[in-house]
Amino acid sequence: MSQGARYSSTTAITLADGVRIERLTPPSRLFGANGLRTGADNRIYVAQVAGSTISALDVTTGDLETISAKGSDIIAPDDIAFDLDGNLIATEYMDARVSMRGKDGRTRVIRDDVPGANGITVHRGRLFVNECRIGGRLMELPLDGSAPHILQDNLPMPNAMEVGPDGLLYYPVMGTNDIWRIDPDGGVPERVAGDLGVPDSVKFDAEGFIVSTQVQTGEVLRIDPRTGDKQVLARMAPGLDNCTFVGNRLFVSSFTGEITEILTGGDTREILEGGLMWPLDMTVGHDGNLYLADGTYLYVLREGELHQIASLFSPGTPGYVRGVAAVGPGELLCTTSTGEISYYRPGPDAQTEVVAQGFDQLYGVAAIANRTIVAAELGTGRVLSIRAQQVSVLASGLNAPMGVAFGPDGAVLVSESGAGRVVSISGSGVDTVVDGLLTPQGILVRGKQLLIVDVGLKALIGVDLETRVRRTLASNLPVGAPPGIVAKPLRGTPPFSGPMGPFAGIAAGPDGTVYLSADADGSVLALRFSE
């Protein structure tokens, strides 16, 4: 593993006789990359919403140090700043909090009533924060926790901001696609530049020009704050999040976890490679390629390389995808974290057809030939059936259902992750198929064998559905939270996503290869079996 990788284990993967394993994609070093801030040590501090982690990157060596780890007091950090004493202050978007992590490693909450807390900057010892939501506020927060001073409210999704050389506070507004400024002591806001590519950050270069990432177009812009004139510094993939300078060197972050240096003439240099944020569910399409959901992105693994086929920002997108199943040539069935079940047809004229919506934390999804859909709704403990856009409840009262599959007899199999079992649902009710598990998530039926990814046991378990004999096929897998860590719930980033829970998926190819989502280290594993 690379130094500073997001997950490491001292225990090697153990395989049963006749099982071979291969990693198809490299491990990710970050859980995506969001807010950036250069520290006094000239390292770039990277906030990672999906991983509840803050890391420090040395841009010379590429080494990463975890500053605030998953499971610690800071949850889903979106942007960061430093006060005059070098203490780190983070906005916790999903928990409506702003917290300070002192140089001694201890964390205290400054305020916990800032819904959508996102953009943050410190100027002359004063802390400014905004809320990236519809109706968001721009405010100064006293460090002693006293009442905020509201500079502006009812903003449609402001984001990462900075005070310019003129002493004014500059902030992008994603909902109106422009950049504004205001006196930090209050006054009338002024529009600086508009008709952008959905700006989500503002910083300043040494000559006093705005530098702004554009999340929708992938452009990095340099903007004259006096005239609003724009220059494109680089064109990259959509999903840029923030930027920072180390001296005169400019770096930008991407949702994929990539950190890129912007060079002259539109050139770029990768400083830290991107990767998968999770990954989540996966399926093998009719073309034989592996499709995998990664929340913000939907990928296909083709000839050993990942290719994005959809994102939150692409036309016809299904949204933040968590569950995925191939149902026909060029057609995928998806569940999203915003509670939708949809057919998605990727391509130049991508289309999404919503079948049903309004659900609470959908996970696994499957369908049979007559297009009857079955999906697990974790938030309500239900298993749903959808046919001809009519929704019926197959089972309720389950403890965190996640994975779904159809058994050889047509019964619906469901992993009940909160109860440590897999159940069968039929006309006669709910029956236990496998118990004594810890946290089963993805399940797959392969012939007469049921395969279960148990992230608590960090194992792949095979169960003969006729004899009920079980066998551990692989253990010490990089799935679930790191050993000894209890990950805290991610409540979501409305309107982009609902709660963002992990899901270690499983799929099989026509040649019998089994694919696993190694969500702990952000890679895809392939297991092959000697018959």
- Position 179, amino acid: I
Nearest Cα residue to 311 out of 247, 245, 237: 237
Residue 82 pairs in a beta bridge with 88
CB contact burial 276-303 (16+ within 10 A = b; e otherwise): bbbbbbbbbbeeebbbbbbbbbbbbbee
Cβ 191 vs Cβ 176: under 8 Å: no
Along the 531 residues of the chain, how does pLDDT read in single tens digits? 345 678 877 789 999 999 999 999 999 999 999 999 999 999 999 999 999 999 999 999 999 999 999 989 999 999 999 999 999 999 999 999 999 999 899 999 999 999 999 999 999 999 999 999 999 999 999 998 899 999 999 999 999 999 999 999 999 999 999 999 999 999 999 999 999 999 999 999 999 999 999 999 999 999 999 999 999 999 999 999 999 999 999 999 999 999 999 999 999 999 999 999 999 999 999 999 999 999 999 999 998 899 999 988 888 999 999 999 999 899 999 999 999 999 999 998 999 999 999 999 999 999 987 789 999 999 999 999 999 889 999 999 999 999 999 999 889 999 999 999 999 998 878 999 999 999 999 999 999 999 999 999 999 999 999 999 999 999 999 999 887 788 888 888 777 788 889 999 999 999 999 999 999 999 999 999 986
Burial class of residue 45, CB neighbours in 10 A (0-12, 13-18, 19+): buried
Q: Show the tokens assigned to 209.
A: 């020009």
CA–CA gap between residue 47 and residue 255 (Å, rounded): 11
Q: Show the tokens assigned to 511.
A: 């040649």
Please, what are the domains in the chain? 29-272 (2.130.10.10), 282-529 (2.120.10.30)
Burial class of residue 7, CB neighbours in 10 A (0-12, 13-18, 19+): buried
| Beta-carbon contacts of residue 68 (< 8 Å; ≥ 6 apart) | 52, 53, 54, 74, 77, 88, 90, 101, 107
Q: Show the tokens assigned to 70.
A: 């998953």
Q: How far is CA 346 from the centre of its chain?
A: 21
For residue 401, say if its preceding peptide bond is cis, omega within 30 degrees of 0: no
Residue 453 pairs in a beta bridge with 460
What is the end-to-end Cα distance of the chain in Å, rounded? 32
CA–CA gap between residue 43 and residue 4 (Å, rounded): 14
**β-strands 440-446, 429-434: how paired?**
unpaired
**Whole-prediction pTM value?**
0.92
Nearest Cα residue to 71 out of 6, 1, 143, 3: 6
Sheet holding 203-204, edge to edge: 203-204, 210-213, 219-223, 230-235
| Beta-carbon contacts of residue 249 (< 8 Å; ≥ 6 apart) | 59, 261
Cβ 243 vs Cβ 220: under 8 Å: yes
